Structure 1
């Protein structure tokens, strides 16, 4: 929506660029999901089952703890849904690989002896290993996305408070910067500029 100065008064840079900070993971991690925002990705088939077996091989956990730990280990890139976790817990219980015990209103699950033997004989691959953890990115990569978040903040301020001519100048500057970024990868780029006047 337009503000009283003719600028935009809408979502901030976190919403537009997916660069919001979340739980201390830095501005390169999108809110509630992977870098640049968007919904958390799904793991490959069997990933929920593997996650449960791996996490329960470490210590007993309830369903909520399994979901939260999987999200944490993937850096927020993957969060299994309750609709996937609880049926998998029931299936593993039916197979005799885990057992659940009620405690303080929650059911805590542990591996059975059969389940522990199964994990040792068939070590599951951690599904969160498929997802890049922003904490493990090189320092330069983190710095680039931090600068991008700050650029987004500056852009929103210009759009909110700037005059039409200032906004036009900002648009041209961003277009030039985008072309120069592509130029880093190649001597020439034929990437079209849809906003050229």
Structure 2
């Protein structure tokens, strides 16, 4: 399964809106903007940068000894579009999200979700070819969705 890098990509676009940077600068800046709650890794940042280049949202300048990334017009438009979906300051949201992600509660919730997903996949496999069981699973998921909407 491909690791999701969407929020990191948006953060990179916000950084590059301020100034062009090379990869290591981006990693350090992401960590600093989260007050250390996010530890940027090359395994996340460089693939995210490559995806942004592939999506034509940033440009890569290889003229100097370091690869420098800069925001292009498409990237500016993407930031302008995302501003409408985020209330308040992006970097406040970044810090809050990264702090939550490292909290004990978040770790416990993720572990519970992983257990649930494993059991759900087993139930799906067992329901193959059994329309009655499939309908029971649909009803179960719909019930849980409704309960989540109430919280």
If the length of structure 2 is used for normalisation, what is the TM-score? 0.53
Q: Which has the larger radius of gyration?
A: 1
1:92 corresponds, among 35, 39, 52, to: 52
Match of 1:82 in 2: 42
Q: Secondary structure at the match of 1:109?
A: strand
| Residue 114 (structure 1) aligned with residue 81 (structure 2) | no
Match of 2:96 in 1: 129
Q: For structure 2, which runs of at least 5 residues remain unmatched after alignment?
A: 100-151
CA RMSD of aligned residues (A): 1.9
CA distance in 1, matches of 2:79, 2:22: 19
**Does the C-alpha gap of structure 1 residues 50 and 97 become closer, same or farther in structure 2, counting only changes over 3 Å?**
same
- Whether the 8 Å contact between 1:48 and 1:80 is mirrored in structure 2 is no
Q: Secondary structure at the match of 1:122?
A: helix
If the length of structure 1 is used for normalisation, what is the TM-score? 0.41
Listed one character per residue, the Cα deviations across residues 117-161 of structure 1 (whole Å, up to 9, x for unaligned) are 1111223644233245xxxxxxxxxxxxxxxxxxxxxxxxxxxxx
Higher RCO (CA 8 Å, separation ≥ 6 residues): 1
- Whether the 8 Å contact between 2:10 and 2:79 is mirrored in structure 1 is no
Q: How many residues align?
A: 89
CA distance in 2, matches of 1:107, 1:115: 18
- Whether the 8 Å contact between 1:61 and 1:108 is mirrored in structure 2 is yes
CA distance in 1, matches of 2:79, 2:44: 20
After superposition, where does 1:30-179 map in structure 2 within 5 Å?
Answer: 46-123=6-83, 125-126=90-91, 127-132=94-99
- How far did 1:71 drift? 0.8
Q: For structure 1, which runs of at least 5 residues remain unmatched after alignment?
A: 1-43, 133-197
Structure number with higher helix proportion:
2
